[in-house]
Chain A
Amino acid sequence: MRHFLFELKEGLLIALRAIRANKIRSALTMLGIFIGITVVVLMSTAIKGIDNSFQKGISALGTDVLYIDKWAWFTNQEWWKLRNRRNIDMEDFEKFKELAKLPLAVAPVTSSRQIIKYKDRRVDDVVLNGSNADYVKTTNFTFDQGRFYSEIESNASRQVAVLGSEVAKNLFPRGDALDKTIKIGGANFKVVGVLDEQGSSILGSYNPDNQAFIPIGTIFKNFISHHRQSVTINVRAQNPAMIEETKAEAIGVMRKVRGLKYDEENDFTVNQQEALMEQYNSVVGVIKIAGLFITGLSLFVGAIGIMNIMFVSVRERTREIGIRKAIGAKKRTILAQFLLESSTICLVGGAVGLLAAVLLSMVVDQFIPTSVQIDAVVIAFVVALLTGVLSGLAPAYMAAKLDPVESLRYE
């Protein structure tokens, strides 16, 4: 063992000396690995960043919430079939609420896009949600200021509004939104609450931060005719473990509410976060694999470069190998020497590549929230080392099995 450590140290010294002796060649070879490691690390970090922001984004939807809707989030049915479904109206909602026993909370939701103004400030294209006071129980909202509108305000269809954090920030840069009167699509509303920051930018206008919330009666009164637009029923299970039971009950109750016969298909869809997750995984999964494969190719090209250079190096140093063998170097000593050389090249290239990836990820961070995690660092080093060993294996083996007599004669 001690023996082997000495040989290892000697091998490392030889490797460093050989790398220094051919500076330009070594640098160019390292460049291949450098580029490979940089893009692989950057790619995997970017993928992770997208994953994280998606996760964070959809966590606002809640794992324990069902969305009963005329429309399906994802479907393989023809869109016109869904369009021909009857709208879900407030009457359906009232009946559903009465019959469904399992949910923690149910709330009807309908929405409209509106302009919101306060004095000379305005926010265009805000998703304005109308619901009842129970709506807040179907979410995980927390409040920066004020509260959600009450049952009384909701039942009386008062002109009150709760603002998402981004909307509030745009209208009230100084954060004094509470009790101010704003104009939504021309009508006056009193601000009763402002939400904390909730979601993530990946959801765009579906992010609660970019939305506003008013009583459902108020939205019908001011903006939407209730015959025209279907409502969504948000159903929250008592806990995430109850989601399947709650869903089964919801389907049964809904069929009853809609008066469906046993052989009729559902004319509604129960959507949930899981479906979104599955869809995401099936789309992004392919992109991930393709991305890593393509970036992996550049690493592969780098590895071929190393293998090529190592073959040249063995050829050039045939005589040296002969001398070493004559004075007692074993096969494994020569093998280790060349593997160390290729691994050192890869590790140095990998380390520089990693550094570049960290710097570049700070740039990417401006668009997708990313940061190089410790596991990416470990993986990068393992990959670099593995590349070094694998690409050095064939040349090192060739060197190790050289005949000492032949190689001493080699000019």
Chain B
Amino acid sequence: MNIINIEHITKVYEVGLEKVHALRDVSLRIDKNEYVAIMGPSGSGKSTLMNMLGCLDTPTSGIYDFKGESVSTMTDNDLAKIRNKEIGFVFQTFNLLPRSDALHNVELPLVYAGMSYSERREKAKHALIDVGLGDRMHHKPNELSGGQRQRVAVARALVTQPSIILADEPTGNLDSKTGEEIMGLFQELHEKGNTIILVTHEEYIAEHAARIIRLRDGLVEKDERVESRKVLKVNSATE
């Protein structure tokens, strides 16, 4: 069953008088429980594609169906609803709210989903325990290490049980050991049945995925299965 179906989408930005074609003609499908990496050098359009996939932005032309619904024609409110319920974001710079503790950060998407206090507290706690931060719930982001912050972000992405997890350079701000740990976490999530889309420009990170889509100049250059997939020994995130 495919979750994402994109046909011939383009995205044109107007910078001053000049038109920048960030995406020229991209078509792709992503099925449930896939683990996809989107790769490409800077300027290839991968950030634009990821914003599009994440419903943060809409295409200039083309078709984008998310679970059979047309995203291209949605209103801002509908897009917010999709982002809230169907998509979990993990960013390179973590993007946690600095003044809120880990628990509240994880809880936030559920607030916007309109869940009651006790229910969302419970779910947020579970999500934090799942990523191995059961003992850090009331720490503020500046009291956590980079790896821990990214785990909070992963917990926040997971807590709504979204259809896809969208990770934009999730290891970009981490040292390689911590990065490896986070990649292990993603692998574990994938094995549990989650659909993961990873955006990166690093080959060794992309090799964790089962499929790599390579972009260049706003076009899909290559869409291939990973032959020698890097599978980490998962020793469960809960250390």
Contact = CB atoms under 8 A, between A and B. Distances in A.
Q: Do A and B come from one complex?
A: yes
Interface of A: 2-3, 6-7, 10, 17, 21, 319-320, 322-331, 333, 404-405, 408
B113 interface: yes
A327 B83 contact: yes
A11 to B, nearest CB: 10
A404 B56 contact: yes
A10 B114 CA distance: 10
A325 B99 contact: no
| Majority secondary structure, A binding face | helix
Contact of A327 (B57, B89, B100): B89
B74 interface: no
B84 interface: yes
Contact of B99 (A3, A17, A327): A17
B111 interface: yes
Contacts of A10: 108, 111
B112 A329 contact: yes
A7 B97 contact: no
- Contact-residue bracket for chain B: 20 to 34
B77 interface: yes
Given A323-B95, A328-B80, A405 B108 contact: no
Interface in B81-117: 81, 83-85, 89, 91, 95-97, 99-100, 108-109, 111-116
Contacts of A323: 95-97
A322 to B, nearest CB: 8
A329 to B, nearest CB: 5
8 contacts: A6-B115, A324-B112, A325-B56, A325-B80, A327-B156, A328-B83, A330-B112, A405-B51
A330 B80 contact: yes
Contacts of B97: 320, 323
Given A327-B156, A328-B83, A408 B113 contact: no
Given A326-B89, A327-B108, A405-B57, 15 more contacts: A6-B114, A7-B114, A21-B99, A323-B95, A323-B96, A324-B112, A325-B80, A325-B83, A326-B56, A327-B83, A327-B156, A328-B85, A333-B112, A404-B57, A408-B56
A242 to B, nearest CB: 68
A329 B84 CA distance: 8
Interface string B46-58: 0000010010110
A7 B95 contact: no
A319 B112 contact: no
A327 B114 contact: no
Contacts of A6: 111, 114-116
A408 B95 contact: yes
Contacts of B91: 408
A2 B114 contact: yes
Given A21-B99, A326-B54, A326-B89, A331 B76 contact: yes
Contacts of B156: 327
